Amino acid sequence: MKNIYRIIIYILAAAILFGAGFFTGHETAQTAAPEQSANAAKNAAALSAVISIKDGSHVLKGKITLSKDETAFSLLQKFTNKQHIEMNSSGNGKMVYVTSLNNKKASKNTGWLFTVNGKQPNVGAGAVKVKKNDQIVWHYSKF
């Protein structure tokens, strides 16, 4: 009889220890998840830029997370892909040119120009490196 009581006590003790460890670990995981999410959101906000597309009658705007060596053009590609906006270009690298954006096509007298923080660069969109918190605006304009 004493052996049965010992076995029951050992089983109860093991169950209590297991249960305490399970709940302690579970609470830690629950409290860690919101903290990790907050840190991820903070890092994303710190490494983002704002992009706007102005075609004369509409303005589309969004915040885009930056990757290493992001350019004004690669940021436009990310934004248009994410928002399912039509965009076409010709050329590549530093010499890329946006030929159509949001169903507005460039022509002999009109086209897509861009500014970074209110200034129009004297190089192409593929050559302009974007930094955190930059404001990139693409606008449809007459030449």
Structure confidence by residue, pLDDT tens digits, 31-74: 445 555 555 555 545 689 999 999 887 899 999 999 999 999 99
Determine the Cα–Cα distance for residues 110 and 98; give it in Å rounded to an integer.
11
pTM over 0.75: no
Structure confidence by residue, pLDDT tens digits, 5-38: 556 655 655 555 455 444 444 444 444 455 555 5
Task: Give the closest residue to 98 by CA, choosing from 141, 35, 41.
Answer: 141
**Alpha carbon 21 to chain centroid distance?**
38
Structure tokens at 39: 């840190």
Name the residue type at position 87. Answer: M
Determine the Cα–Cα distance for residues 43 and 136; give it in Å rounded to an integer.
20
Per the listing, tokens 């906000």 go with 45
